[in-house]
Amino acid sequence: MKYLKLFAAVIAPVLAATSWDNVHIGGGGGFVSGIVFHPSEKGLAYARTDIGGIYKLNSDDSWTPITDGIANSSNWHNWGIDALALDPQDPDIIYAAVGMYTNSWDPSNGSIMKSTDQGATWTFTSLSFKVGGNMPGRGNGERLAVDPQNSNIVYFGARSGNGLWKSTNAGQSFQKVTSFTAVGTYAPDPSDTYGYNSDLQGLTFITFDSTSGKTGGATSRIFVGTADNVTASVYVSENAGSTWSAVEDQPDTFFPHKCRLQPEEKALYLTYSDGTGPYDGTQGAVYRYDITTGVWDDITPVSGSSLYFGFGGLGVDLQEPGTLVVASLNSWWPDAQLFRSTDSGASWDPIWVWGSSGAMDRSHTMDVTLAPWIKTEFLDNDTKWLGWMIESLEIDPLDSNHWLYGTGLTIYGGHDLTNWGTSSKVTTKSLADGIEEYAVQEVKSVPGGTELLAAIADECGFTFLAQSDLGTAPSKAWDTPLWTTSISVDYAGNKVSNVVRVGNAAGNYMVALSSNGGSSWYINYATDTAKYGGQVAYSADADTILWSTSTSGVVRSANSASFSAVSSLPSNAVIASDKRNNKYFYAGSSATFYVSSNTASSFSSGGSLSGASSIRDIEAHPTIAGELYVSTDVGIFHSTDFGSSFTKLSGALTDTHRISLGKGSSASWNLYAFGDGSNGERLYGSADGGSSWTDIQGSSQTFGAIDGCRVGGSGNNADYVYVGTNGRGVFYGKVTLSGGSGTTSSTTKAAETSSTTQSSSTSSKSSTSSTSTTSSAVPTTTGTASHYQQCGGFSSRV
């Protein structure tokens, strides 16, 4: 045996996945907090996101992720992008302020990262404080800017009372600007004990006046915005940042979101809202500030009862002085509103009006052909076509027809903006292809069944029946019922067309069933409208549902009877069903493993997991009754006797999280695990039943924090494995693992989902969402969560 193992270890080649591709859900799927065009390089633009990094625009309107290598398990917060700046004098240079949260959810200080090759590689300059890419106010900005006349000078406006920071060596180091004393007085909820809404949002934009002269080689006039509706929110320096003062006569009621210079007019345009975004806004304004005369003009497009929203996105046409477009930040009914002016805001043309028949008369057409599920689940079911959370709206500085704006769901835009005001309609097209910002809650590949079931936060979930479907944006999401979030999904091992999923919100029935592999669904009324969340497991013959809820402990429904408590299991237990024997279910909590042999009616303690104190995942073999793997803080345990006894796997992989079996290239099954192995905390694969492990993640691909990642080996396609991330969608890769005799012959696929990592941040952020959305007059569709609750920014990450 010793020799065999050694031999296996030696010949097992380290074949890391050469490449990981996104499963193509399409449409973006999350909040695009900022879009930045380069001022002189035509077509060069980047989109930043709050939990999924940065994307670069391609000439065919698609996007390419450029930060997939920067967010491994120890620096996952690098995918939270709070600001992005380009060097106006060098189209190859990008700066970004990175870090996810300023509260305890994120343990580390933030950075300013820089690329000198348009995002191919990055270097990091550490800051002495945190950065909040997924914090309130993240759509303001940009709070990072490069001096247009001096590439060495970079300013960053910090959160949390940390003030203004400046680099004079092109980002290699930053020093505090001590003469700038405003820190932004506003925190949305000072009593928030999570520290999420109680933190000062700080400085919100840096805008250079490129028409001003230079002082000491640097642009003289600089404007800085703060989140402040008490004292002042727009400050100016006339001497390249030596001294600062509040701009005189400025409006003081609302918070400025965007501040754009129109150099030929020598004017600033600013959008204001009564909240700092991205979910709020019931009042607002648009102002024009004439830099020469110092006069502020209120150019708000609407007033009185027509003004029930704040303003966010602001695009200034640099080719046509006087032309600009502003967007409602959030207008929940009947739709967002966009206004265009060609006379510096003296008059405005809305993109839709109420027609004489009482219906909306739109001057635009929708095109969601690149993500047809947006039509099925959103446009066909709602009047809110133009979106919500519109913080960034940009007109290509070199092309008056080309525009883009980010929403909570996608990026819209097009190439015929100057149709506005003519008899031709403006195209609003979903142009987010390549952006996959999904927060994935579960991935399952069903042996002999559906290739990929992906439970998703904010868009409910998607079914990809076969591998050949992975590159095609689905025509629908998981609907009837369409929930905001599906948190868990499982299939019945002996009847693989039978699938169950559970949702994550109170107020509706949060269990749905499918008998055609997830192609269509129906509500399971065995539940009530109070239970939600957690993890679900389906018995092998599809007659029993075991549900470890996040609200009501572990409950069970057999033969469609109402769910009742499983008193022998603790709340929040990790659960799984045996995939072959209908009577068996498994569960784990802390160090205790539980087994039921009576379709989850009752559980008793199973074999001991020596040394483990935390059970994270349970993976039952898809074709062999009684065979299962259990992932714990000390590694993986294996049982072949229905969990009566366990053997710890011998390979050097510890502190494992999600695990999965997947079809191997021989008759055997591969085992996949996120854990701490020879190359640190990564995704590993084993073809010899966990005796030896190969780093299949590779050093150029990161997935964010591994304790938030989902993994699912393909049940149907040898050596393919799916990875669900929190903010970068679903990846898949093929890695041929060799060596060893594999896990026992036959088939496998998983039943995992731990309810562990979610808790505090999810609940607090969900409440952020519901608070903000309920404040607006909005219709709620029956049996579904409200569409506008979608935002992509609700990280499940603690």
Closest distance of CB 69 from ligand NAG, Å:
8
Q: Which residue of the set 228, 458, 578, 655 is catalytic?
A: 458
Binding of ligand NAG at residue 189 (CB under 6 A)?
no
Q: Which residue of the set 50, 228, 396, 578 is catalytic?
A: 50
Binding of ligand NAG at residue 109 (CB under 6 A)?
yes
Given the complex with ligand NAG, which of 157 and 275 has the nearer CB atom? Answer: 275
Alpha-carbon distance of 512 to 572, in angstroms, equals 20
Closest distance of CB 75 from ligand NAG, Å:
5
Q: How many residues bind ligand NAG (CB under 6 A)?
A: 21
Q: Please, which residues have CB within 8 angstroms of residue 742's CB and are 6 or more apart in sequence? A: 664, 666, 667, 668, 669, 670, 687, 688, 689
CB 511 within 8 A of CB 539: no
Closest distance of CB 676 from ligand NAG, Å:
8
Binding of ligand NAG at residue 72 (CB under 6 A)?
yes
* Of the candidate residues 53, 275, 310, 664, the single one contacting ligand NAG (CB under 6 A): 275
Map tokens 């998981």 to a residue.
Answer: 478
Residue 320 DSSP one-character state: S
Q: For residue 121, how many other CB atoms are within 10 A of its CB?
A: 12
State which residue has the least CB distance to ligand NAG: 680
* Of the candidate residues 257, 648, 658, 682, the single one contacting ligand NAG (CB under 6 A): 682
Judged by CB under 6 A, which stretch of 16-24, 155-163, 586-594, 680-688 contacts ligand NAG?
Answer: 680-688
Given the complex with ligand NAG, which of 178 and 782 has the nearer CB atom? Answer: 782
Alpha-carbon distance of 548 to 545, in angstroms, equals 10
Contacts of ligand NAG in 476-495 (CB under 6 A): 480
Instruction: Sketch the per residue contact string, 73 through 92, with ligand NAG: x for CB under 6 A, - otherwise.
Output: xxx-----------------
Given the complex with ligand NAG, which of 122 and 208 has the nearer CB atom? Answer: 122
Closest distance of CB 269 from ligand NAG, Å:
22
Judged by CB under 6 A, which stretch of 334-342, 348-356, 516-524, 678-686 contacts ligand NAG?
Answer: 678-686
Given the complex with ligand NAG, which of 247 and 460 has the nearer CB atom? Answer: 460
Alpha-carbon distance of 80 to 97, in angstroms, equals 8
Bridge partner list, 517: none
Given the complex with ligand NAG, which of 136 and 275 has the nearer CB atom? Answer: 275
Bridge partner list, 507: none
Given the complex with ligand NAG, which of 72 and 484 has the nearer CB atom? Answer: 72
Alpha-carbon distance of 174 to 303, in angstroms, equals 43
* Of the candidate residues 229, 407, 430, 796, the single one contacting ligand NAG (CB under 6 A): 229
Binding of ligand NAG at residue 790 (CB under 6 A)?
no
50 as an active site residue: the answer is yes
C-alpha closest to that of 737 among 797, 671, 783: 671
Closest distance of CB 261 from ligand NAG, Å:
26
Closest distance of CB 34 from ligand NAG, Å:
22
Binding of ligand NAG at residue 381 (CB under 6 A)?
yes
Given the complex with ligand NAG, which of 687 and 706 has the nearer CB atom? Answer: 706
Alpha-carbon distance of 461 to 374, in angstroms, equals 13
Binding of ligand NAG at residue 680 (CB under 6 A)?
yes
Report residue 573 as tokens.
């237990």
Closest distance of CB 561 from ligand NAG, Å:
26
Q: For residue 181, how many other CB atoms are within 10 A of its CB?
A: 10
Query: Phi, psi (5° rounding) for residue 199?
Result: -85, 140
Identity of the amino acid at 723: V
Given the complex with ligand NAG, which of 418 and 784 has the nearer CB atom? Answer: 784
* Of the candidate residues 238, 274, 320, 469, the single one contacting ligand NAG (CB under 6 A): 274
Binding of ligand NAG at residue 198 (CB under 6 A)?
no
Side-chain-side CA neighbours of residue 405 (13 Å)? 25
Binding of ligand NAG at residue 123 (CB under 6 A)?
no
Bridge partner list, 394: 404
Q: For residue 362, how many other CB atoms are within 10 A of its CB?
A: 19
Judged by CB under 6 A, which stretch of 217-225, 524-532, 756-764, 782-790 contacts ligand NAG?
Answer: 782-790
Give me the sign of the Cα torsion angle 409, 308, 287, 184: negative
Report residue 594 as tokens.
């539980």
CA-atom Rg of the chain in angstroms: 27
Give ∠ CA 134-141-336 in degrees, rounded to 5.
80
Judged by CB under 6 A, which stretch of 1-9, 301-309, 461-469, 778-786 contacts ligand NAG?
Answer: 778-786
Binding of ligand NAG at residue 611 (CB under 6 A)?
no
* Of the candidate residues 209, 681, 688, 707, the single one contacting ligand NAG (CB under 6 A): 681
CA distances from 708 to 612, 692, 754, 795 (A): 20, 24, 10, 10
Closest distance of CB 697 from ligand NAG, Å:
8
Report residue 543 as tokens.
């007659």
Alpha-carbon distance of 340 to 326, in angstroms, equals 7
* Of the candidate residues 2, 178, 230, 604, the single one contacting ligand NAG (CB under 6 A): 230
Four-point Cα dihedral 760, 761, 766, 771, nearest 10: 90
Closest distance of CB 74 from ligand NAG, Å:
5
* Of the candidate residues 40, 560, 774, 781, the single one contacting ligand NAG (CB under 6 A): 781
361 as an active site residue: the answer is no
Closest distance of CB 400 from ligand NAG, Å:
35
Sheet with strand 710-713: strands edge to edge: 21-22, 730-734, 720-724, 710-713
CA distances from 605 to 569, 639, 645, 658, 729 (A): 10, 14, 11, 22, 37
CB 132 within 8 A of CB 50: no
Given the complex with ligand NAG, which of 621 and 797 has the nearer CB atom? Answer: 797
Binding of ligand NAG at residue 108 (CB under 6 A)?
yes
C-alpha closest to that of 288 among 313, 262, 306: 262
Tell me if residue 373 falls in helix, strand or coil: helix
Are β-strands 255-262 and 267-273 bridged in parallel, bridged antiparallel, or unpaired? Answer: antiparallel
Judged by CB under 6 A, which stretch of 82-90, 403-411, 600-608, 776-784 contacts ligand NAG?
Answer: 776-784
Kindly report the length of the chain: 798
Closest distance of CB 252 from ligand NAG, Å:
8
Q: Any idea which residues carry the catalytic annotation?
A: 50, 458
Binding site for ligand NAG (CB under 6 A): 72-75, 108-109, 128, 229-230, 274-275, 381-382, 480, 680-682, 781-784
